[in-house]
Structure 1
Amino acid sequence: MTLRRQIQFWLISLFAFCAFLYVFSGVLLPFVAGAAVAYLLDPVCDRLEKLGMGRLWATFTILLAFVFLLILFFILLLPVLGNQLASFLERFPELVRQLQGLVNDQMGQRLAEAAGINLADLQASMAEMVGQGAAFVGKLAQSVWSGGQALLSILSLFVITPVVAFYLLLDWDHMIAKIDGWLPRDHLEEIRGLAREMDGAVAGFVRGQLSVCLLLGAFYAIALAVAGLNFGLLIGMGAGLVSFIPFVGAGLGFIVSMGVGVVQFWPEWPMILVIGAVFAVGQFLEGNILQPKLVGNSTGLHPVTLMFALFAFGYLFGFVGMLIAVPAAAMIGVLARFALKQYLASPVYTGSRRLSKIGPEDTASQEGANE
């Protein structure tokens, strides 16, 4: 097959895959979630096999423990988080008005004097900014809620996902061997090498970042709850779960918690400083301990690239797109680095083809002319 035919074949395959995601994005969530669970738990299953347990019993044990922990989470934490979320959404407009009034009355005059601007203009600007922020939060919550309804019901998600994960985890090694048998024989080693690099990037980031998110979420939630912050459990868990986007999770959590803390504790500055210190300690732990130990530089993705992938895949394929955004971006990054390596070694970059057309006599005469 010529190079042109190969490019056409892979472009058509990519288009068919994207069309499949677009058409069936409304029903793919349980299956994508099941595949993600199977991928995450496959190393554990392999380790149990090495210890002498059969694949069937290892799969059954792992899935049973996973479902048990999931049920425990929904029984113990979900009601508390749901109540805090409902209360937070109900009180959000009032919190915004209190914060705006507090800033205008207590700090507005000082800020206006320091900046040399009119207080009325400052208040109008802040009111507009707060209104835009509230509108954005409302639209975001509405889109998430409508998207969740459009994908599938929660019941079907938690019924189908464990079943899909069980069968995929049980047959994982056989599926990998079958796919390996479909690879083009002429490029077998190159494709295997790229697949290993992709697996290292995706596994390192997904498994490592998932651990970071859970640990940070637990730290933020416990610390804010101990500090007595209203909605501390909800804000901490949310900040931890969104921390897979660099600086976004901690930034949003810090802004929301400081806003709630100012309204709740003002004028008790020490308590407000405690809230800020929680996120300072969390950032220190994430940047110096958790990220280097659990994630490292596994994906090679720039934070801007990661955020673009999340927004782009989410826009194209909805919530399912956001689930596959990071693995897809990591795999695309591996392919892009491979393509760049091929380009740097090609005559297009080195110019070796042009030099080969110049004979030795021409080269010698050119060197003499240069002298």
Structure 2
Amino acid sequence: MPISPAFRQALLWLAVALAVWWAVSLLAPVLFPLLLALGLAYVLQPLVAQLARWRVPRWLGAGVAIAGVMLLALALVLIIVPVLAQQWPLLREQIPALLERFNAWLVPHARRLGLDVAVDVEGVRQLLRNLISGHEEQLLAHLLSSLRIGGSVLITVLGNAVLMPVVAYYLLLDWNAMGARVQALIPPAWRGALLSWWRDTDELLGQYLRGQMLVMGLLAVYYAVALWAVGLDLALPIGVFTGLAVFVPYVGFGVGLVLALLAALLQFQDWWGVLAVAAVYGVGQVVESFWLTPRLVGERIGLHPVAVIFALMAFGHLFGFVGVLLALPASAVALVALRRLQALYLRSALFAAPPAAGPVARKE
């Protein structure tokens, strides 16, 4: 039986797709930092293009954009890490005191019910002493031993941290020419449809990323200022972390809320401080859900909350934490493709075919 040209072409494209998938799976550790660099370049491309319209040389605009990102990351590390390093040892004294107060409330109520229940405060104190300040030398020795054994892993991590901004810089320099070369490789018969799909995807992703970054910045300022106003010592690191972590829907806000409530419980030692922190997060969530995100991000993505949760779980299971970060943008790209497939289906002969005629009823 002869094979039709269309079937032969489909088999060829299937073989190419399988070969690409195999190569990507094989080279995943190498391609991962390059993909992150490509994503960074894509986010910074509008800024570099705007600087070029202001007659700033592209090499200078790309350097300014990359340097700005690196300085922002360094500033966040210098703000958050020293504060956490200063507060972490205080947990050894604060948690046992909190548990003793909890015991003072729990034991009388439990005895009225005929129960002998209490928290082992001394055991918790010993555990914290071991975890926080009891094994620094052993941990350091273990770390040095690990670095001697698996030094290549450390070199790889540091190399990727240096490689990513360098690759992103060169991608920004060659962005327009690279796009033209990729466009020239698209078969002419498919070029119009693929370029139209990419324009829609680029518009959707650009709106999402720009709006989401603005939401993150405003929420970081709000949480830091509001937590400082209620007297939380860790207002700056926890507030900035919560604002930036909302990039991951539900997960980021939940982690920030847990950290803030734990810090408030340890610091204030009463429920009023905890309730004040909870109120700050409640107001922030309402403002974000009903005003900031609809106005600044918009409803262009159009993903149902259940679809968002499923995307987070699926991408997190497949790609780990990075998959959680990429779940929503990747879902937006898939949504554009699904909308186009839906439009093709509605225009197809299968959808427009008339219903089959049923059996003709006999006249009596």
TM-score (norm 2): 0.72
Alignment match, 2:307: 305
Q: 1:338 and 1:107 mapped to 2: Cα distance?
A: 64
Amino acid in structure 1 at the alignment position of 2:47: V
Structure 2 residue 235 is the aligned partner of structure 1 residue 249: no
Confirm or deny: 8 A CA contact 1:31 1:161 kept in the other structure. Answer: yes
Amino acid in structure 1 at the alignment position of 2:88: S
Equivalent position to 2:295, from 293, 296, 314: 293
Structure 2 residue 198 is the aligned partner of structure 1 residue 164: no
Alignment match, 1:215: 218
Secondary structure of the 2:30 match is coil
Confirm or deny: 8 A CA contact 1:220 1:278 kept in the other structure. Answer: yes
Equivalent position to 2:343, from 341, 344, 349: 341
Q: 2:172 and 2:37 mapped to 1: Cα distance?
A: 9
Structure 2 residue 12 is the aligned partner of structure 1 residue 24: no
Q: 2:264 and 2:199 mapped to 1: Cα distance?
A: 47
Confirm or deny: 8 A CA contact 1:245 1:306 kept in the other structure. Answer: no
Alignment match, 1:235: 238
Amino acid in structure 1 at the alignment position of 2:186: L
Write out per-residue CA displacement over residues 195-249 of structure 1, whole angstroms, 9 at most, x where no aligned residue: 1111122222223223322332332234324433354444333322331333333
Alignment match, 1:44: 47
Deviation of 1:297 after TM superposition, in Å, equals 2.0
- Long gaps (5+) in structure 1: 125-145
Amino acid in structure 2 at the alignment position of 1:49: A
Deviation of 1:103 after TM superposition, in Å, equals 8.9
Amino acid in structure 2 at the alignment position of 1:102: F
Q: 1:173 and 1:336 mapped to 2: Cα distance?
A: 28
Alignment of 1:144-293 (within 5 A): 154-267=157-270, 269=272, 271-293=273-295
Q: 2:163 and 2:183 mapped to 1: Cα distance?
A: 27
Equivalent position to 1:57, from 57, 60, 72: 60
Q: 1:240 and 1:45 mapped to 2: Cα distance?
A: 25
Write out per-residue CA displacement over residues 264-284 of structure 1, whole angstroms, 9 at most, x where no aligned residue: 324352x33321221122123
When residues 103 and 7 of structure 1 are mapped into structure 2, their CA distance, relative to the original with a 3 A threshold, is farther
TM-score (norm 1): 0.71
Structure 1 stretch displaced more, 203-212 or 34-43: 203-212
Q: 1:82 and 1:16 mapped to 2: Cα distance?
A: 47
- Long gaps (5+) in structure 2: 120-145, 147-151
Q: 1:154 and 1:222 mapped to 2: Cα distance?
A: 35
The answer to which structure, 1 or 2, has the higher relative contact order (CA under 8 A, 6+ apart) is 1
Deviation of 1:301 after TM superposition, in Å, equals 2.5
Secondary structure of the 1:77 match is helix
Q: 2:20 and 2:94 mapped to 1: Cα distance?
A: 47
Write out per-residue CA displacement over residues 317-367 of structure 1, whole angstroms, 9 at most, x where no aligned residue: 344544543332222221122222222332333334x66xx7xxxx9x96x
Deviation of 1:102 after TM superposition, in Å, equals 3.0
When residues 188 and 160 of structure 1 are mapped into structure 2, their CA distance, relative to the original with a 3 A threshold, is same
Q: 1:96 and 1:338 mapped to 2: Cα distance?
A: 59
Q: 1:83 and 1:104 mapped to 2: Cα distance?
A: 31
Amino acid in structure 1 at the alignment position of 2:218: L
Q: 1:19 and 1:108 mapped to 2: Cα distance?
A: 65
Confirm or deny: 8 A CA contact 2:98 2:269 kept in the other structure. Answer: no
Structure 1 stretch displaced more, 29-38 or 189-198: 29-38
Percent identity for Structure 1 against Structure 2: 31
How many residue pairs were aligned? 328
Amino acid in structure 2 at the alignment position of 1:301: L
Structure 1 stretch displaced more, 286-295 or 306-315: 306-315
Deviation of 1:93 after TM superposition, in Å, equals 12
Write out per-residue CA displacement over residues 4-47 of structure 1, whole angstroms, 9 at most, x where no aligned residue: 55655555555445444433333344322221221111111111
Structure 2 residue 98 is the aligned partner of structure 1 residue 102: no
Q: 1:119 and 1:184 mapped to 2: Cα distance?
A: 80
Confirm or deny: 8 A CA contact 2:224 2:240 kept in the other structure. Answer: yes
Alignment of 1:308-323 (within 5 A): 308-323=310-325
Amino acid in structure 2 at the alignment position of 1:156: G
Write out per-residue CA displacement over residues 60-97 of structure 1, whole angstroms, 9 at most, x where no aligned residue: 332333333333444x324325526x828x94998499
* Cα-Cα RMSD: 4.0
Amino acid in structure 1 at the alignment position of 2:105: D
Amino acid in structure 2 at the alignment position of 1:87: W
Q: 2:184 and 2:284 mapped to 1: Cα distance?
A: 46
Deviation of 1:98 after TM superposition, in Å, equals 4.5
Deviation of 1:166 after TM superposition, in Å, equals 0.7
